[in-house]
Amino acid sequence: MALLGGAVLVLVPAYDGPLAELLGAYEGNVAVSFALYFAALSASARYRWPRLLAASATLLAVELFEATDGFGVMANTFDPIDFAANAAGVGLAIVVDVVTTPLLRRHQEQKPPA
């Protein structure tokens, strides 16, 4: 799923359809937040509340990045709506995680042993 977020980040700039301006302005925030959630989820899988930890850490990181204008190291164009786009990316990742996890578990249980 982290790779999916990265793919969206790379591919959306090539999109030239309806809402292209809106997507161009905020898809990066959503895609990066989405991808970082799954990366953080992998790192927090052994803890008691992995989703809560991953979501909190991701949201903290992306919002701090926004608030500090790229941590003072990277170029970042401040837009207050970016805070909402970051939260939307984490929220979308949580929904995808919650929906796909039972499906993946069911699929793994149905596999014959190797």
Q: Which residues contact 61 (CB under 8 A, 6 or more apart)?
A: 36
Domain limits for position 100:
2-110
Average pLDDT by stretches of 10, the chain with 114 residues? 69 71 80 92 93 97 88 78 95 94 79 65
* Stretch (H or E) spanning 9: helix 2-11
- Predicted model pTM: 0.78
* pLDDT recorded at residue 94: 96
> 63 and 95 in contact (C-beta within 8 Å)?
no
* pLDDT recorded at residue 59: 97
d(CA 10, CA 109): 34
Helix/strand/coil for 79: coil
* pLDDT recorded at residue 114: 60
Of 29, 33, 75, give the one whose Cα is nearest residue 56. Answer: 33
As given in the structure block, the two tokens for residue 23 are 């997507």
Q: Give the count of domains, the chain.
A: 1
> 44 and 57 in contact (C-beta within 8 Å)?
yes
Tokens 């790379």 found at: 10
* pLDDT recorded at residue 9: 66
